[in-house]
Amino acid sequence: MGKKTHLYFNRELSWLRFNQRVLDEARNPERPLLSRLKFLAITGSNLDEFCMVRVGGLQQLAAQGATEKDPAGLSAGEQLDAIGTAMHAMVAAQYDCLLKELEPKLAAAGLQRLGLAQLSPEQAAYVERLFEHEIFPVITPMAIDPEEVFPLLPGLSLNLFVRLPPAPGTDGLPRYAVVVLPKALPRFLTLPAAQGYQYVLLEDVVSAHLARLFPGQTITASVPFRLTRNADLSIREDLAGDLLAGMKEVLTERRQSACIRLEVSQAIDAESLAFLKMALGLHDRDLFPVPGPVDLAMYFRIAALPGFPDQQEADWPPQPSPDIAPQEPMFDAIARKDLLLVQPYDSFEPVVRLLTEAADDPHVLAIKQILYRTSENSPIVAALARAAEKDKHVTAVVELKARFDEARNIGWAAALERAGVQVIYGLRGLKVHAKACLIVRREATGIRRYLHLGTGNYNEKTARLYSDVSLLTCNEDLGADVSQFFNTITGYAQPSRYRKIESAPLTLRERLLELIQNEIERKKQGQPARIMLKLNSLVDTVMMDALVEASQAGVTVQLNIRGICCLRPGVAGLSENITVTGMVDRFLEHARILYFHNGGEPQVFISSADWMSRNLDRRVELLVPVEDAAARARLIGMLETCLADNVQGRRLTAAGVYERPAAVGKRKNIRAQEVFYRQARDAAAQARRGQDRVFEPQRPAAPPPPP
């Protein structure tokens, strides 16, 4: 592997480059201010999860003395050092964006954060009343004994660190205390204002009233701080007798896990910072003194404030599918033709309606569905429960190991069981990540199976934020495959070759390598050969090596990777025929779409799997062929458009830098997400006028690759 390290980027640094591209959108002057603030909040939320999972895992490896190096040739300790340097630079850029760019402009637009010294007499009196009646009864100070273990504060909770003078008759050491600011209290306190929106921060108000919490004491200093705890904890399924009980233990352990990051106001004095570093067992690289409010993810709330339409993106509402008449039953629509939905441009409502109608349809015999991430008040979960209550046979595979959604999924599983649903709590040793729903219906011609297969979760809320693909079909071969697939993961059925689909961890990797090899062989025979892939992440070394082999054979390999890409493109003699692009825009790119030229008879697939070892070897995933001509053409057009995006698209260089594509002649600007929204809007408008559905690809659907 050492000889190939020059072909790979480090996974963690690649992810940080992705988050930097999100931060670039927060600094993009062409975006409305509140949209920019939303992107800044996204970078904060992303960094929180990155620290909890990736940094936490690396710290565990380093503590264990692990010496194994990653494909880029870095040990765990070397990765932590490199990550620490990159993260500190990113945090500095985040606060530079907030304090020097966004807040001054937002204040000029009428949306202003005030310090207590800036309050009018009316506002100051309001804050006094608010503290006395709404805040003071809720908060509780905790004294810290330097000789005792530091209090077990929740991860990502906001706190005040308070310094008090030495007690009389002591050796002169300062005393410390912590005030936890409960999540039940709003972080942003709205102020009375004649116009616009003005607010103060909760921590500023509490800090100004500490005398009420420590009567008779002199407050030497107080600063907000927040801890991040390691969330890279997993159940030892070989030792757990009960998967459900084991997952509950993991949730408890996560609340008590080691601290891996400290964010604190840079106003903290050196002695107090040294105390926290020692008490929490942190390295210098884990300390993040910041010049502004702690927790940038909180700004999601400000970014969504109503009343400032000029500072927010114009609405792009999901469009009704032109292939489904407004009052047409979903079973009739699917029986008529395969339906392809591209969310959030197309509405996710047909998927919800399919499950809702199935729950109430007397001809439906059974429903089988995988639930990975769902919304808080999911209409799909409600439909499954109602179907079971109406004596339909309902099976739900609920993945308890969906990170950060474990508690919600445990709750849904219990509710579904109470309704009579047969609940399968995932699989030992594997995470069920496939997106599939099977509905069995008795019709005049016999039993028919209706399917939903997709790239995204059964969550109607994120379906408005994530760009995903849904295929609705009653294809007989796919129906037989998905029936076998469910039997395999819910029972003891022996895995067998499917007619059309492939699944991980059994045959998916093998099939992908076969598809790549087919393009290599065709190129060697002098035929055009081309691969286009749209993925969230590309990490697996076996798959990357296969793409490099294709490049060396002369196959044109075009990758559209949203986030992590560990493959270095453009290396002479190796990856020179590989290009990598990625785009960050208003919707999160989440679809996995695969194209293989196949001698001019394109093979197109959608998949739940990224090309990471965990997806191909340790998860249950699906690869689904799209054979309907119109649906396939639309997906090919999407790939072409994503690769051609020269507004939000960026190209990855061999140096690991993302660059804006250079302008070529009079080539017009192409912003992929805007193209997709306009296509969906125009197709819906044509359907309302009674015309045929038309999706014009931005470029030809499948031109031959360069020789």
Residue 703 pLDDT exceeds 50: no
Q: How far apart are the first and last CA of the chain?
A: 31
The reported pLDDT for the residue numbered 239 is: 37
The reported pLDDT for the residue numbered 700 is: 40
Query: How far apart (Å, rounded) are the C-alpha atoms in residues 545 and 455?
Result: 25
Query: How far apart (Å, rounded) are the C-alpha atoms in residues 626 and 190?
Result: 51
- Ordered by start, the domain boundaries in the chain are 2-311, 330-500, 503-688
Indicate the SS3 state at residue 682.
helix
The structure tokens listed for 478 are 């796919």
Sign of CA pseudo-dihedral 301, 307, 309, 310: negative
The reported pLDDT for the residue numbered 664 is: 61
* Strand-pair partners of 502: 623
Return the amino acid letter for 321.
S
DSSP-assigned letters across all residues of 521-566: HHHHTT---EEEEEES-B--HHHHHHHHHHHHTT-EEEEEESS-B-
Superfamily of domain 330-500 in the CATH hierarchy: Endonuclease Chain A (3.30.870.10)
Residue 227 pLDDT exceeds 70: yes
Dihedral in degrees, nearest 10, Cα atoms 333, 356, 695, 646: -160
Q: What is the per-residue pLDDT across 557-566, written as a single tens digit (0 to 9) for each?
A: 999 999 999 9
The reported pLDDT for the residue numbered 232 is: 60
The reported pLDDT for the residue numbered 701 is: 41
DSSP-assigned letters across all residues of 181-194: E-TTS-SEEEPP-S
The reported pLDDT for the residue numbered 59 is: 87
Which of 98-107, 160-169, 343-352 bottoms out in mean pLDDT, i.e. has the lowest?
160-169
Neighbours of 552 (CB within 10 A): 15
Residue 247 pLDDT exceeds 50: no
Indicate the SS3 state at residue 223.
strand
CATH of 503-688, one of 3.40.50.300, 3.40.605.10, 3.30.870.10, 3.30.70.260: 3.30.870.10
The structure tokens listed for 677 are 């929204």
SS3 content of the chain, % helix, strand, coil (to 5): 40, 20, 40
Residue 695 pLDDT exceeds 60: no
Residue 423 pLDDT exceeds 90: no
Q: Provide the pLDDT confidence category of residue 525 given band limits of 50, 70 and 90.
A: very high
How do 287-290 and 259-265 pair as beta strands? parallel
Indicate the SS3 state at residue 62.
helix
Q: Provide the pLDDT confidence category of residue 404 given band limits of 50, 70 and 90.
A: low
Dihedral in degrees, nearest 10, Cα atoms 12, 18, 21, 25: -120
Q: Mean pLDDT over all residues of the chain?
A: 90
Return the amino acid letter for 633.
A
Residue range 2-311 in CATH 3.30.1840.10: yes
Q: What average pLDDT does range 651-659 have in this prediction?
A: 96
Q: Provide the pLDDT confidence category of residue 240 given band limits of 50, 70 and 90.
A: very low
Residue 606 pLDDT exceeds 70: yes
- 377-394 burial: b if 16+ Cβ within 10 Å, else e: ebbbbbbbbbbbeeebeb
Which of 236-250, 483-497, 593-607 bottoms out in mean pLDDT, i.e. has the lowest?
236-250
Query: How far apart (Å, rounded) are the C-alpha atoms in residues 250 and 58?
Result: 18
The reported pLDDT for the residue numbered 705 is: 44
Residue 140 pLDDT exceeds 80: yes
Residue 44 pLDDT exceeds 80: yes
Q: What is the per-residue pLDDT across 443-456, written as a single tens digit (0 to 9) for each?
A: 999 999 999 999 99
Residue 43 pLDDT exceeds 80: yes
The reported pLDDT for the residue numbered 665 is: 60
Among 433, 452, 590, 597, the one annotated catalytic: 433
Residue 460's φ and ψ, nearest 5 degrees, are: -70, -20
Sign of CA pseudo-dihedral 178, 184, 190, 191: negative
Q: What is the per-residue pLDDT across 173-186, written as a single tens digit (0 to 9) for each?
A: 888 999 999 999 99
Q: What is the per-residue pLDDT across 566-589, written as a single tens digit (0 to 9) for each?
A: 999 999 999 999 999 999 999 999
Q: What average pLDDT does range 668-674 have in this prediction?
A: 94
Return the amino acid letter for 565.
C
Which of 197-201, 480-484, 496-500 bottoms out in mean pLDDT, i.e. has the lowest?
496-500
How do 188-190 and 158-164 pair as beta strands? unpaired
Residue 238 pLDDT exceeds 50: no
The reported pLDDT for the residue numbered 242 is: 44
DSSP-assigned letters across all residues of 424-490: E--BTTBEE---EEEEEEEETTEEEEEEEEESS-S-TTGGGTEEEEEEEE--HHHHHHHHHHHHHHH
433 is catalytic: yes
Query: How far apart (Å, rounded) are the C-alpha atoms in residues 621 and 132?
Result: 54
Q: Provide the pLDDT confidence category of residue 425 given band limits of 50, 70 and 90.
A: confident
Are the C-beta atoms of 551 and 572 separated by less than 8 Å? no
The reported pLDDT for the residue numbered 246 is: 47
Q: Provide the pLDDT confidence category of residue 6 given band limits of 50, 70 and 90.
A: confident
The reported pLDDT for the residue numbered 492 is: 65
Cα within 13 Å of Cα(680), Cβ side: 23
Share of the chain above pLDDT 70, in %: 91
Q: What is the per-residue pLDDT across 285-303, written as a single tens digit (0 to 9) for each?
A: 999 999 999 999 999 999 9
Residue 248 pLDDT exceeds 60: no
Residue 409 pLDDT exceeds 80: no
Dihedral in degrees, nearest 10, Cα atoms 655, 656, 658, 662: 20
The reported pLDDT for the residue numbered 231 is: 75
Q: Provide the pLDDT confidence category of residue 61 given band limits of 50, 70 and 90.
A: confident
Q: What average pLDDT does range 648-676 have in this prediction?
A: 89
Higher pLDDT, 188 or 248: 188
Q: What average pLDDT does range 672-700 have in this prediction?
A: 79
Query: How far apart (Å, rounded) are the C-alpha atoms in residues 64 and 360?
Result: 55
Query: How far apart (Å, rounded) are the C-alpha atoms in residues 642 and 670?
Result: 9
Are the C-beta atoms of 177 and 144 separated by less than 8 Å? yes
Distances (CA, A) of 270 to 55, 79, 264, 267: 25, 27, 12, 9
| Domain 330-500 identical in fold to domain 503-688 | yes
The reported pLDDT for the residue numbered 624 is: 98
Q: What average pLDDT does range 152-167 have in this prediction?
A: 90
